[in-house]
Structures are given as structure tokens and as C-alpha cells.
Structure 1
Amino acid sequence: MRFIDLEELKPSIQHLIPALEATQAAVVAETDPVKRAALINGNRAQWVALRTAFEAYSHGKCWYVECKNPGTDDDIDHFRPKLGVKEEPTHPGYFWFAFDWTNLRLSCHRANRPRVNPEGAGTGGKAGHFPLVVPTARAFNPANGKGQEVPALLDPTNPYDVAMLTFQQNGEVDLSPEFKGQAMPEAKLAASRLILHLDWPAFRDARVVLYNKIQRTVDRGVREAPNDFSGNVAPTEAFYDAVRDLKNAMKAEEEYSAAARVYVESFKHIWWVRDVVLRVVA
């Protein structure tokens, strides 16, 4: 998961916002729940129209897990669900955010759609889920806005949430060390691991492959690296290739680039990884 800066994204969708705001006003003004739901569903094309810009910003990657899905159209997920909340059956859904573009996230099918984890980890998929760290803080109407809600799902548009997440060598997600043992981050990780399918086998296995590739690249660099910065021995082209390959693995456009950064940093005890690779990465 990389930080998605909505302020950076906004200029590319600016021309679509007036129509979204107009529809949002109509939705909030409609007091009949059935008519309101029909109005929301009937204007689905307005949020789908954001997909191209969302994909361009994240280089075609799911905002939740950083995978690419070139053979399918990613979903536009309503972070706060628009027509109901799984955790609160009496909730009408956050209809007052149905056309708020800042409530929308680009999601792959696996992170968004209900599926049973084949390894017995439970049924996940974002869909209509929106658990809270404190369930009693839930907002129920437009006057409440977001109230005092603290979502229990990690949000890629929240830099604090993105900072919480790290990755193990076995491909599983984990909390960054500085957040370990804190109730709120622990709750967020547990909920996100299940509901967003962060440890779905295909995602986990891809991160393992990535770690092994980075380890082999580091080994290649170690064989070719000079002993220090003295300049007495000129670095070989093979060494520069290793540096370049590690740097490229962490580029924003690469799949699982946040995991790549964590994996490269795990080798920072090696002088050239610490003093060269991690200094030239964007």
C-alpha cells in the first residue's frame, strides 16, 4: 500500500466534480430510501468515470494491495459504503458520501469482492464492510458527516495508515515496529488483513517472489561491490546494474513497491544498499 495523495490526484478529475456534486445534492435531498437508492444506482456511471484518472495516478495498481489487473476493470470502491453497512444492519449506508470523490478508492476485485480465503482465513472482500475502531461512534445521517469515526480499515489516502503497514519475508503483512502493541493499529491490521484480503495467497506469494528477487540482486551486488567509497577500485557495470535493479523495484509504478522498499531496507546493513541505493531511490 502506497500513499494516495488526493490533492495531487484532484486536478485530473476536476472537470468531473461538478456533476458529482450536483448528483450528491439530489441524493441528500431525496428522503425516500427506495428512490434514493435508485438515484444512486442510476448514476453509477459518474463514479465509474473516475476510473481512468485513478488508474493513471496509481500506475494501474489497486490502491489497497498494489497489484495490477490488466485483464479486468478495477472496481471503484466506496470506502464508506453507499447503500448499507455490513457491521450495522440498521444503517442506511453513507448515502451522503455516495458521490463524494474523496470517498472513492480504486480496488482490485479480490480486495473488494466477497470471497472465502482458500487457506481458511475467513471470508473477506471490502464490499459493504466498514468496521470502526469504536463502533458506537458511527455516523448515521448527513448532519453527522463523518462524526468521530475512526475506520478500522487501513486507508491508502491516509498517510498515517500507510505508515502502519510493513511486510514480512514470507509475504505476509505486518505492523511497522513503532505501532506494535498499540490497540488501534492492531485492530486496523486485523480487520484489513481479513476484509481487504491483504494476505490472499496470490498476493502473499507474489511478495515472496519479490523478496527472493531482491535478495538475489543484493547478492549479485555484493559480489561486484567495491569495499568502500575510497575510489581506489572502480565499480563494475554489473554493480551498477544491481543498484539500478534495486532502485527500480521500488518505483511507484511497480507492483508491490511498498513491500520492495521494506525488503531493500532489510539489507541496509550493507554499506552500498544503505549509502547508495536508498539515497537514489525516488
Structure 2
Amino acid sequence: MRYVDRSTRPAPESLSAADGGGLKEYAKAKAYYAKVPPHKKAYPFKAYKADDVALALRNLFHGKCAYCELRYEGGQPMDVEHYRPKGGIQERDDHRGYWWLAADWNNLLPSCIDCNRRRGQISADAVMTLAQLEAAFASIGDTEPGGKQDAFPTLDGVWADPEIDPNTIESPALIDPTRTDPKNHLHWPQADVSVVLPVVDLLGSECPRATASILIYALNRIGLVQSRLEIRQSFDAQIRLIREVATAAMELVDPRREIFMKIAEDGILSLRRQTGIEHAFSAMLSARLEAFEAEFSTLLEAELI
């Protein structure tokens, strides 16, 4: 998960225009939920499915899932996901969902089906070996519910009532990468398995927002970890080569030293390009590169002493 600045894309016209489907649907939904006795089913929302909404989300997130950074365009459908669920909340039977935000641009995110739709998932953990990961991937194993669907836990058990701005009273447990920088909550360990973990504070406590997000979005589901691992292994191979070139350069005293160091520096520039926001799993790769650049700087400083 990586921070994305939503202000770089205006709200799609179908949601923002006075005569657009979004505002028309909002008026109809308001009347629907005001009926006494209340309807038993949620309003059949459709405005958020407009083509210009899907395109705007695609362009904002570069064709990636907002939660796991998987490039969904390669082979699976994209769900236009409601960060705050539109038709009900899993944690509260008496809450009818954030129906007034069903066509709100700021409440919509692009999601792959595995992050959004709840089903049984097998998850990896930080201590699994590559062999164990392969075995888990190949087995049906013990599954646990994964996928957001209508889940929306809060840190203090408070949810907004209809047509109140929830941002003024709620403390969401789930991370929205357009509102919060996930880098402040999620940690990518330098382990063999590409799992993501909660940041731990000085007292040893896990970030509760990270813990909830990893669990509910199923960010360590086996198939996703496997996909991340394949990309990370290629990235790490490039890091090893750059490290070897730089180390060899340190042992030279002739003009070849400058040539070798230039090759290493060009290699780092190439790695930086691969961590761009348009690339799959860029948050994970950025963490890997940040650690290596710190190592590379230490190597150069040691050489200058």
C-alpha cells in the first residue's frame, strides 16, 4: 500500500455535475432511507459504477489495487470499492452503511477482488521459509476470512450517523492510502518472505491500524506474497550485482575505479525508477531500496575515512 494524492485527479463529472448520476442518486437514496417503516434492503446504488469513475480511479492508481498494489489490469476485474461501506457495516447490525457517501469521489478506491471480496484465504507469516511458502501455496490448508467487503472497524467503536461527516468524529481502524501515508504504519522486513507487518512503537506495541488493515485486506495472503516475492527476487538480484560492483571498485586505484562506481550509481538510478508509483508493489521495493541506499552510503563514507 502506498500513499496516493487524490487531489491530482478531479472528481469524475458523473459524480460532481449538478445533473450527473451521483447527485441524482443521492436524492433518491435520501428519500429511500427516510421511508417509515424503513426498507429492509439497501438501496441499489449504481452511480459509482460509471465508466468515468472507473477510468479516473485507474488513472489515479495507475491500474493498481489501492490496498495491495497488485496490477489488476493484467488478469482480473477491478471493484470500485467503498472505503466506508455503502450498504451496511459488519461490526454493527443496526447501521445501514454510509449511503450518503455511495457516490462520493473521496470514498471510492480501486480494489482487486481478493482485497475487496471476503473469502477464505491462507496467509503467510514472517518466519516462513520459501519451502514452507511453496507448500502452503500448493495446499488447501487452514483458511481464514479475508477481504474487506462491508467491514469498517473503528478504534473507539464510534460510527457516524446518516449525513454527518464521518471524518469529524470517527477514528477508522483501516488505512485509506489517499488519506494516510501507509509508510507510517506498515513495515517491510528484510526477510526472505515478502510479508508486510505492522510498525512497532518504542513500547513494543503494534500499530492497530496496520494490524487491522493487514488482516481485513488480507495483505499477506499466500498468492499475493508469492507475486511480491517474484518481483522482489529480481530486484534483490540487481542489488547484489550493484553491491559486488561497488565492492570491487573499492579495491581499485586506477581509472577503472571511477568506471565501476559509475556503473554502480547508474544501477541505483535504475532501481529508483522501478520504485515509481506506477509500478506494482512499489511500497515494498521502495523499502528495499531505502535500506540498500543506506548501506551504499555507509560503504562510501567508510572509504573516505
Per the TM superposition, whether the score is higher than 0.5 is: yes
Task: Give the match for residue 54 of structure 1.
Answer: 57
Q: Could you list the per-position Cα deviations for residues 165-222 of structure 1 after superposition, in whole angstroms to 9, with x for gaps in the alignment?
A: 121232111233558745xx62212221221011011221233333332322122112
For the pair 1:235 / 2:234, whether they are aligned, the reply is no
C-alpha displacement of 1:96: 1.2
C-alpha displacement of 1:88: 0.5
Contact 1:82 1:98 in 2 (8 A): yes
Which SS does the other structure have where 1:266 is aligned? Answer: helix
Task: Give the match for residue 149 of structure 1.
Answer: 170
Contact 1:154 1:161 in 2 (8 A): yes
Q: Could you list the per-position Cα deviations for residues 46-97 of structure 1 after superposition, in whole angstroms to 9, with x for gaps in the alignment?
A: 4x54111111221110010000122232101111111111110111111111
Greater mean deviation of Cα atoms: 235-244 or 20-29 = 235-244
Q: Which one-letter code corresponds to 2:233 in the other structure?
A: N
Q: Give the distance between the partners of 1:59 and 1:248, measured in 2 at CA.
A: 15
Contact 1:74 1:109 in 2 (8 A): yes
Q: 1:27 to 1:274 in 2, by over 3 A?
A: farther
Contact 2:188 2:197 in 1 (8 A): yes
Q: 1:6 to 1:140 in 2, by over 3 A?
A: same
Q: 1:124 to 1:265 in 2, by over 3 A?
A: same
C-alpha displacement of 1:263: 0.9
Task: Give the match for residue 190 of structure 1.
Answer: 211
Task: Give the match for residue 34 of structure 1.
Answer: 39
For the pair 1:73 / 2:72, whether they are aligned, the reply is no
Contact 2:2 2:181 in 1 (8 A): no
Q: Could you list the per-position Cα deviations for residues 17-49 of structure 1 after superposition, in whole angstroms to 9, with x for gaps in the alignment?
A: 2222342233224313439834x4354534x54
Task: Give the match for residue 98 of structure 1.
Answer: 102
Supply the RMSD in Å over aligned alpha carbons: 2.9
Contact 2:48 2:80 in 1 (8 A): no
Q: Give the distance between the partners of 2:29 and 2:286, measured in 1 at CA.
A: 43
Percent sequence identity over aligned pairs: 25
C-alpha displacement of 1:148: 1.5
Q: Give the distance between the partners of 1:54 and 1:144, measured in 2 at CA.
A: 22
- Structure 1 gaps, min length 5: 276-282
Q: Give the distance between the partners of 1:212 and 1:24, measured in 2 at CA.
A: 48
Normalising by structure 2, report the TM-score. Answer: 0.77
For the pair 1:3 / 2:3, whether they are aligned, the reply is yes
Task: Give the match for residue 135 of structure 2.
Answer: none
Task: Give the match for residue 23 of structure 1.
Answer: 25
C-alpha displacement of 1:252: 1.2
Q: 1:224 to 1:76 in 2, by over 3 A?
A: same
Among residues 147, 158, 167, which one is paired with 2:179 in the alignment?
Answer: 158
Q: Could you list the per-position Cα deviations for residues 121-176 of structure 1 after superposition, in whole angstroms to 9, with x for gaps in the alignment?
A: 620111111111111x1112224644521111111112344421121232111233
Contact 1:180 1:186 in 2 (8 A): no
Greater radius of gyration (CA): 2
Q: 1:56 to 1:144 in 2, by over 3 A?
A: closer
Among residues 161, 178, 181, which one is paired with 1:140 in the alignment?
Answer: 161
Task: Give the match for residue 131 of structure 1.
Answer: 153
Q: Give the distance between the partners of 1:204 and 1:165, measured in 2 at CA.
A: 15
Contact 1:24 1:100 in 2 (8 A): no
For the pair 1:172 / 2:174, whether they are aligned, the reply is no
Contact 2:4 2:178 in 1 (8 A): yes
Normalising by structure 1, report the TM-score. Answer: 0.83
Q: 1:42 to 1:111 in 2, by over 3 A?
A: closer
Q: Which one-letter code corresponds to 2:213 in the other structure?
A: S
